Amino acid sequence: MTSAAHKRKAWSVVIMSTLAFTVCFMVWMMFAVIGIPIKKALDLNETQFGLLVAMPVLTGSLIRLPLGMLTDRYGGRIVFAILMASTVVPIWMISYGTEYWHYLVTGLFVGVAGGSFTVGIAYCARWFPKSQQGTAMGIFGAGNSGAAVTKLVAPALVLAYGWQFVPQVYAAIMLGTVVLFWLFTFDDPAHKAGHSVTIKEQLTALKDPKVWKYCQYYSIVFGGYVALSLWMTKYYVTEYGFDIKDAAFLAACFSLPGGVLRAIGGWMSDKWGAHSVTWWVLWISWICLFFLSYPQTELTVKTVAGPQTYTLGLNVWAFTALMFVMGVAWAVGKASVFKYISDDYPKNIGVISGIVGLAGGMGGFLLPVMFGALVDLTGIRSSCFMLMYGVVWVSLIWMYWTEVRKMDLMGRHRRHPADILE
């Protein structure tokens, strides 16, 4: 294959995979919008709502590791196409649900769409040299913007035709995407490990402590992104009193940059390295979450003129601005974590991305449930940000002890003794 032909196929693969991943993410985030009228109709509490919106994320997370292994063995094109085709009927069936358990069960089957990330990231990366893999993976990862597309499209469909119309439209879109993907993507036998790699050999990666560290990072930048994408529409409705359409639009201010700008994160990671970019992403997240965690407060102070009451808390514009900044940071961080993987594990990107993606997805599943439980227990809506603040602290400390401190020590050993005395 000539270089020009290979490059043409490589970019066709990236473009179509990004489109397919965007549609898959639209489907994966669907309950973030249609879950609100379902919650009202079934009179669900916050914990039940959290479980409802997170149920697709559970399947999409658990399936990522086996999908990564299948991608390494058989190639991304066939695995991606079968995965998408398998979700069409379950998506359609959501519109016929009447009981809480109906939505939980169909959500599990629809959640398979979330596993598309692991397949696509390995499929795209292998078409490019190492120096361009961060950019290629970042472009593909921009499909996360499907979360924002759902927030812009689904509320209009709900208001115009009822929430049942949303899964029917999404099923038709998914079917069309499968056809387009198959027509405009390609196979390369060199990208398949075949049966030369055993399952046991692939799973040895679970013994590597670096893999677990990357899982922790990804549970924030991706797991947190998924969780808050699912949670923010309802948060705007309950905290600031918006209707579903305006709430979803404001929530997209977090979801959209959190998806689209991932391509920039890939370029930044290629230029400055995965460590430097991820370190700054975590610090920006920590600062944003510090302010987002503060609950709406009324403080009464006894003064010489009598009691004076002061209101402390973020107004909707300050809140949205902080969410936007954090969305940008997490978009960059999602790319930088996978740059670590392509640098350290070039031979088995599929299985490592499957493990890390599983951890991130499980964060996206568990966090909304925990958000709901915390609200039910404390009555404080900003408790979701308090939880995320603590999770970011864990990653900052872990990165400091395993990367920053080690790099500082190595730098000191390399310097001349006279320099150290200075």
421 falls in which pLDDT band (50, 70, 90)?
Answer: very low
**Cα distances (angstroms) measured from residue 262 to each of 87, 144, 267, 337:** 26, 8, 9, 11
* Residue numbers of the domain that contains 111: 3-193+212-415
The model's pLDDT over 203-233, given as tens digits with 9 standing for 90+, comes to 676 777 888 888 889 999 988 988 998 899 8
- Does residue 408 fall inside a structural domain? yes
Read off the pLDDT of each residue in 159-184 and give the average, rounded to a whole number: 95
- Residue 418 pLDDT greater than 50, yes or no: no
Displacement of CA 347 from its chain's centroid (Å): 24
The answer to the question of residue 281 being in a domain is yes
Classify residue 353: in a domain, yes or no. Answer: yes
pLDDT in tens, 265-281: 878 888 888 888 999 99
Mean pLDDT of the chain: 86
Report yes or no on 219 lying in a domain.
yes
**Residues 388-399: tens digit of each pLDDT:** 999 999 989 988
198 within a domain of the structure (yes/no): no
Query: Mean per-residue pLDDT for 292-315?
Result: 87
Residue 205 lies in a domain: no
Give the pLDDT of residue 130: 76
DSSP secondary structure string, 322-373? HHHHHHHHHHHHHHHHHHHHHHH-TT-HHHHHHHHHHHHHHHHHHHHHHHHH
Count helices and strands (H / E) in the chain: 22, 2
pLDDT above 50 for 422: no
Condensed to tens digits (0 to 9), the pLDDT of residues 316-360 reads 999 999 999 999 999 899 888 888 887 877 766 767 877 887 888
Task: Answer yes or no: is 301 within a domain.
Answer: yes
Q: Please, which pLDDT band fits residue 200 given cuts at 50, 70 and 90? A: low
Distance separating alpha carbons of residues 340 and 218, to the nearest angstrom: 11
Q: How many angstroms separate the CA atoms of 251 and 147, rounded?
A: 10
**Helical (H) or strand (E) element with 306:** strand 306-312
What is the number of domains present in the chain?
1
Q: What is the CATH number of the domain that holds 147?
A: 1.20.1250.20
Residue 358 lies in a domain: yes
